[in-house]
């Protein structure tokens, strides 16, 4: 990855089929499918310094219709957030470098209430979250390690109830 890149967008993510690719018959199923295909994909910023985990998360999310950008440290995450606010941020709290996940969250909160799903092996995260003044529609925690299916369900829930 080049140093000038703030975030890496996964190839092939966020593609939508054109309406003319849908079945031509006018039943309710084909109409629902066309509506789903016309809905813009939700954008997720994955902030994770473990490149293999970030790649796995990104591939799973992209395969489920999300547009995914990856930032491998706090500085790149902030640069990506300043360019475009995603629909959700998947944020590792234990980032290497000068900014940890809490620093990224604090900076993000100065200008956006985007839902953030924190990931961490730390056990004290829930206590810190309770003192943040946020609720589970804008801030939640998924302890590591976790199943990708659990990650998908948590993201879907957060996006459904986000303000």
The domain that holds 61 is classified in CATH as 3.40.50.2300
CA–CA distance, 66 with 28 (Å, rounded to integer): 24
What's the predicted TM-score (pTM) here? 0.75
Weakest-pLDDT range from 10-14, 74-78, 84-88, 117-121: 10-14
pLDDT in tens, 25-50: 455 555 555 555 555 789 999 999 99
Q: Would residue 3 count as lying in a domain?
A: no
End-to-end CA distance of the chain: 34
Q: Is the pLDDT of residue 21 over 80?
A: no
The predicted structure's pLDDT at residue 27: 58
Average pLDDT over residues 132-161: 89
* Domain count along the chain: 1
Average pLDDT over residues 67-94: 96
Q: Would residue 28 count as lying in a domain?
A: yes
Q: Would residue 33 count as lying in a domain?
A: yes
Helix (H, G, I), strand (E, B) or coil at 148: helix
pLDDT in tens, 99-136: 999 999 999 999 899 999 999 987 767 667 666 667 77
Q: Would residue 22 count as lying in a domain?
A: yes
Average pLDDT over residues 132-157: 89
- Mean pLDDT taken over the chain: 80
Q: Would residue 75 count as lying in a domain?
A: yes
Q: Would residue 16 count as lying in a domain?
A: yes
Q: What are phi and psi of 44, to 5 degrees?
A: -125, 130
The predicted structure's pLDDT at residue 163: 73
Q: Would residue 1 count as lying in a domain?
A: no
The predicted structure's pLDDT at residue 133: 63
Tokens encoding 132: 């943040």
* Domain range for 157: 8-161
Buried b (16+ CB within 10 A) or exposed e, 25-42: eeeeeeeebbeeeeeebb
Shortest CA distance to 94 belongs to which of 104, 108, 109, 83?
104
89: enclosing H helix or E strand:
strand 88-92
């Amino acid at each position: 990855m080049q140093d000038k890149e703030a975030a890496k967008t996964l190839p092939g993510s966020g593609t939508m089929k054109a309406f003319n690719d849908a079945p031509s018959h006018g039943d309710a199923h084909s109409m629902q499918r066309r509506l789903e295909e016309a809905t813009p994909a939700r954008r997720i910023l994955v902030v994770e310094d473990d490149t293999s985990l970030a790649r796995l998360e990104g591939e799973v999310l992209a395969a489920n219709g999300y547009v995914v950008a990856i930032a491998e440290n706090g500085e790149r995450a902030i640069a990506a957030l300043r360019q475009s606010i995603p629909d959700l941020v998947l944020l590792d709290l234990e980032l290497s470098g000068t900014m940890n996940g809490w620093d990224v969250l604090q900076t993000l909160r100065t200008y956006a209430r985007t839902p953030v799903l924190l990931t961490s092996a730390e056990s004290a995260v829930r206590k810190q979250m309770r003192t943040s003044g946020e609720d589970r529609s804008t801030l939640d925690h998924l302890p590591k390690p976790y199943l990708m299916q659990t990650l998908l369900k948590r993201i879907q829930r957060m996006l459904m109830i986000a303000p």
